Amino acid sequence: MATINCDMGEAFGLYRMGDDEALMPLISVANVACGFHASDFNHMRKTVRLAKAHGVKVGAHPSLPDLQGFGRREMKMPREELANCIVYQVGALKGFLEAEGMALNHLKPHGSLYGMAARDESVAHAICDAADVFKVPVMGMIGTCHETVYGARGHVLIAEFYADLDYDDDGRLIITREHYAVDPLRTAARCRRAIAEGKAESINGKDVAVRADSICVHSDTPNAVDVARAVREASKLNP
């Protein structure tokens, strides 16, 4: 049965992003921001504690160093530098997890880093270099470098389906700078099909192959709580 995961913990200082308190009871896995696209040390600790209170597993959600752009602007970094950037972020979250007696569940690149790793083997290898340190599964998408490179490197892939984002005709995720509200019922129907048939309709109406080991909902989608509730209930997904 697919899990429901959510990219969250994305507040920063006095700025707020998403309704983590309402979302956490509806999910089974939290991808917690590690400070480079959002969050800070206080919010990381708070999010980890919230996840613990609800029995939710926690993975690291590292980003390119792009706080102003929310990690959704591409940048070029050498493989070693990028791996170091990821290790730095995951290590910080792992410290807060250990402080709460929790284990690191997985690693999931954020935003543009995720998209770049889907098509660029060097970026995917940099993620694997970091995953080698922490020895946890990596979230990603089938039919991309996530699947081929992570698999070749011996890492377990947790294949994701995105409830609130569109796919192009090649089955790749369309990553936008800002997320907009989506229809919860349509989203739930898409998730049911992804689980049952391994297919999703692209933005141009073409069927593309997907796999839904876990279904992602973004906390910055304006109606994320309604989306998560609809996906959980209509698809009978239980954390």
Cβ neighbour number for residue 228 with a 10 Å cutoff: 29
Give the mean pLDDT of the chain. 95
**What pLDDT sits at residue 238?**
43
- In this prediction the pTM is 0.94
Pairing type for strands 214-218 and 199-201 reads unpaired
- pLDDT tens across 18-70, in order? 999 999 999 999 999 999 999 999 999 999 999 999 999 999 999 999 999 99
Diameter over CA atoms, the chain: 47
Q: What is the mean pLDDT of residues 106-127?
A: 97
- pLDDT tens across 141-153, in order? 999 999 999 999 9
Measured CA to CA, the distance from residue 104 to residue 98 in angstroms comes to 8
Task: With cut-offs at 50, 70 and 90, classify the pLDDT of residue 235.
Answer: low
Domain limits for position 44: 3-236
Q: What is the CATH number of the domain that holds 198?
A: 3.20.20.370
**What pLDDT sits at residue 239?**
43
> Based on the number of CB atoms within 10 Å of its own CB, is 42 exposed (0-12), middle (13-18) or buried (19 or more)?
exposed
Q: What is the mean pLDDT of residues 62-82?
A: 96
- Chain mean position to CA 124: 15
> Structural domain tally of the chain?
1
| Statement: residue 133 has pLDDT above 90 | yes
Task: With cut-offs at 50, 70 and 90, classify the pLDDT of residue 236.
Answer: low
> Based on the number of CB atoms within 10 Å of its own CB, is 177 exposed (0-12), middle (13-18) or buried (19 or more)?
exposed
The interaxial angle of helices 145-152 and 111-119, nearest 10 deg, is 70
Query: Rounded to the nearest 5 degrees, what angle is found at the Cα of 87, between the Cα atoms of 83 and 93?
Result: 150
- pLDDT tens across 157-210, in order? 999 999 999 999 999 999 887 888 999 999 999 999 999 999 999 999 999 999
**What pLDDT sits at residue 179?**
83
**What pLDDT sits at residue 234?**
61
**What pLDDT sits at residue 233?**
80
| Statement: residue 222 has pLDDT above 90 | yes
Q: What is the mean pLDDT of residues 221-233?
A: 93
Helix (H) or strand (E) holding 140: strand 138-140
**What pLDDT sits at residue 1?**
75
